[in-house]
Amino acid sequence: MHTEIERKFLLLNDAWRREVTQTLVLRQGYLATDPGCTVRVRVSGPSAWLTIKGRNVDGSAPEFEYPIPASDAAAMLELLARKPLIEKKRHLVPRDGFTWEVDEFLGPNAGLLVAEIELESLDQPFPRPSWIGREVTGERQYYNASLVARPFSDW
Catalytically active residues are 30
Q: Is the dihedral of CA 41, 66, 110, 10 positive or negative?
A: positive
**C-alpha 52 chain-centroid distance:** 13
Q: Which residues in 105-139 are b (16+ Cβ under 10 Å) and which e?
A: bbebbeebbbbbbebeeeeeeeeebebbeeebeee
Q: How far apart are CA 46 and CA 69, in angstroms?
A: 9
Phi (first) and psi of residue 54, to 5 degrees: -85, -175
Return d(Cα 27, Cα 34) in angstroms, integer.
20
Q: CA 83, CA 108: separation in Å to the nearest integer?
A: 10
